[in-house]
Amino acid sequence: MDINQGTPLLDGIRNIEDISEFSLSELKQLSREVRLELIRNVSKTGGHLGAGLGVVELTVAIHHVFNTPEDKLIWDVGHQSYPHKILTGRRKQMDTIRQKDGLSGFTSRVESHFDPFGAGHSSTSVSAALGMAVARDLEGSSNEVIAVIGDGAMSAGMAYEAMNNAGIMDKRLIVILNDNDMSIAPAVGAMSAYLSRILSSNSYLSIRKLMKQATHYLPKTFENVARKAEEYTRGMVTGGTLFEELGFYYVGPIDGHKIKHLVPVLKNIRDTKGKGPFLIHTVTQKGKGYPPAEKSEDKFHGVSKFDIDSGDQNKGSNTIPSYTSIFAKCLISEATKDDKIVAITAAMPGGTGLDKFGKEFPSRTFDVGIAEQHAVTFAGGLASEGFKPFVSIYSTFLQRAYDQIIHDIAIQNLPVRFAIDRAGFVGADGYTHHGSFDISYLICLPNFVIMAPSDEAEFVNMISTATQYDKGPIAFRYPRGQGIGVKLPEKPIPIPIGEGKVIRSGNKIAILSFGARLKDCLIASEILIKENIDVTVVDARFAKPLDKKLLNKLYKDHEAIITIEEGAYGGFGSVVLKFFSDMGLLDDGFIIRTINMPDKFIDHANPQEQLEIAKIDLEGILSTIRLVYSSIKNK
Are 596 and 568 in contact by the 8 Å Cβ rule? The answer is yes
What single string gives the DSSP state of each residue in 47-59?
Answer: EE-HHHHHTHHHH
Residue tagged active-site, from 35, 400, 417, 480: 400
Distance (Å) of CA 479 to CA 7, 106, 304, 456? 41, 22, 19, 11
Are 437 and 567 in contact by the 8 Å Cβ rule? The answer is yes
Whether 364 is a known active-site residue: answer no
For 428, the 3-state DSSP assignment is coil
Whether 372 is a known active-site residue: answer yes
Q: Dump strand ranges (E) for 288-387.
A: 302-303, 341-345, 365-367
Distance CA 249, CA 235 (A): 13
Residue tagged active-site, from 40, 136, 286, 299: 286
Phi, psi of 606 (to 5 degrees): -80, 160
Beta bridge partners of 451: 476, 542
Beta bridge partners of 543: none
Alpha helices, H only, 497-617: 518-529, 548-557, 572-582, 607-614
Q: Name the residue type at position 417.
A: R
Distance CA 237, CA 249 (A): 14
DSSP symbol at 435:
B
Angle made by CA atoms 37, 433, 357, in degrees to the nearest 5: 95
Whether 286 is a known active-site residue: answer yes
Residue tagged active-site, from 372, 458, 565, 566: 372
574, with CB counted inside 10 A (0-12, 13-18, 19+), is buried
Are 618 and 525 in contact by the 8 Å Cβ rule? The answer is no
Helix (H) or strand (E) holding 74: strand 72-75
Residues forming the active site: 286, 372, 400
